[in-house]
A and B are shown apart, each in its own frame.
Chain A
Amino acid sequence: MPRLTFIASQGTSRTVDARIGDSAMQTALAHGIDGITAECGGAMACATCHVHVADEWADRVGPAEDTEADMLEFAASTVTAASRLSCQITMTEELDGLVLHLPDTQI
């Protein structure tokens, strides 16, 4: 089971087990991670599961695709090159150890 670490904007961190095939957003909701709202439930219709991928994971996770990048313009917190919608990151063995930073707000 890949492990996934969420680091909140205040610096507190939580590491949880992810099911392969689940999105990072689903993993966050399953473990009650504050800081992921995921209003649309993964339909890519909102921007409330916004995360910043840790630098050392950027290559393996890859950048946002076009539609996702458009939707990220709605994000409530600062969007950077490391920004992704966590509903679009699918957990695999290769992502074991992934670190995602949570923005200070999603709405």
Chain B
Amino acid sequence: MPLAPVNDAVTITELIDNPYPFYRQMRANSPVVSVRAVNRVMLTKAADTRAVKDDPETWSSDDPDTPMKRAFHAHTLMRKDGEEHLRERNAMMPTFSPRNLKTLWGPAYENLAGEYLDRLPKGEVVDLFPTLAGPLAARILADILGLSEASDDNMQFWSQALIDGAGNFGWFDEPFERVDRAHLAMDALMERKAEYYRANPDQTALSVMVNADDPIAWSQIVANIKIAIGGGINEPRDALLTVLYGLLTNPDQLDEIKRTGQWGSAFEEAIRWVAPIQVSSRRATRDTQIRGIDIPKGTVVMTCQASSNHDEDLFEDGHLFNAFRARNPHQSFGSGPHHCMGTHLARMMLGKIMLPMIFDRFPNMELVQPETVVWKGFGFRGPLNLPVRLN
């Protein structure tokens, strides 16, 4: 069988600005395609991305040649398989139990959301990225992880440094130097807090991992808290900005949802429409095929869930925001053993708490000059600004 056809036309800049036209073209003509600009075989159909993630024996999460290990000073659970992955995942899992979500993190988020909304000025133009979406996502994450002393700015700086380092495929010095500085600060705080939690255990992630009967190694506790910092801010931030943009530019849908209370559907649609995490990678552990294309052992494929979420096989007019889809089998939380640990937390924070609250406070919120909203990102994607007037 043939190897994946090569596309050397698309550039990384085009993919960062707007990958969706390229994905549409690939789904139609060349759904398994080797893309020079990212040096990966891209999978663009929903059935393929799902099948790969659901078969961890054929598709390992350990992608050895990424800058992620250098950036994180460790191999995190994201890049591990099988028992080793499960043990590290389970170490943090109790923090995210349904009980904790309901009794601790839900009420905590509701209070914080109220406080952050209180601070927003009424009647003037305000950008919700730096004033609400970013800092609020940082705050609740710091509190859940057990790092409440970290400021919103600290958390956002660390998160961005980790992301930039992990995505530093050019292997430039600056992102690694910046993330190294972030590590010094994160490590110092975690060591101090670990000591505190040994004497004062609670349900935060750091405390639960430190006080487990059979704890994982300290190096892995630290690495996995960092993966949560790197991955836990931009996603809820971008999801919130995306759902607000979707609703504010579709006022008929917003009116209907205000009437029916289907905020959860609006949230699901937003993350389908523009998935905060657009692509992931998996490595073939044996020779295999996808759609009649040979994938030799060792090949790293990129599962493009952003593309799967617009797949014509599953979604009509996938490029449009429609909160009333009868079925919405998007893959934005991934699937298989690495299925997003924050799924239920995100659904609760945004779908159940934030959306009803923000439109209750500001029923006449309007997007100011929607054409000035800038969308960017290939690996992660969301609006870089969201200028609104709150009324």
Contacts and interface: CB of A to CB of B under 8 A. Distances in A.
A19 to B, nearest CB: 16
B335 interface: yes
Interface residues of A, number: 16
Interface string A49-93: 000000000000000000000110110100000000000000000
Given A46-B339, A74-B344, A107-B268, A41 B97 contact: no
Interface string B313-331: 0000000000000011100
Nearest to A74: B344
A41 B53 contact: yes
Contacts of B327: 34
Interface of B: 50, 53-54, 97-99, 102, 264, 268, 327-329, 333, 335-337, 339, 341, 343-344
Most buried by B among A34, A38, A43: A43
Nearest to B344: A74
Contacts of A71: 98
A45 B99 contact: no
B76 to A, nearest CB: 17
Given A45-B341, A107-B268, A107-B328, A40 B98 contact: no
Interface string A16-52: 0000000000000000001001111111011000000
B98 A39 contact: no
B86 to A, nearest CB: 9
Nearest to B50: A41
A47 to B, nearest CB: 8
Contacts of B53: 41
Contacts of A40: 333, 335-336, 339
Please name the 9 residue pairs, one residue from A and one from B, whose CB atoms are nearest each other, closest first. A40-B339, A73-B98, A41-B54, A41-B336, A41-B335, A45-B339, A43-B337, A74-B344, A70-B98
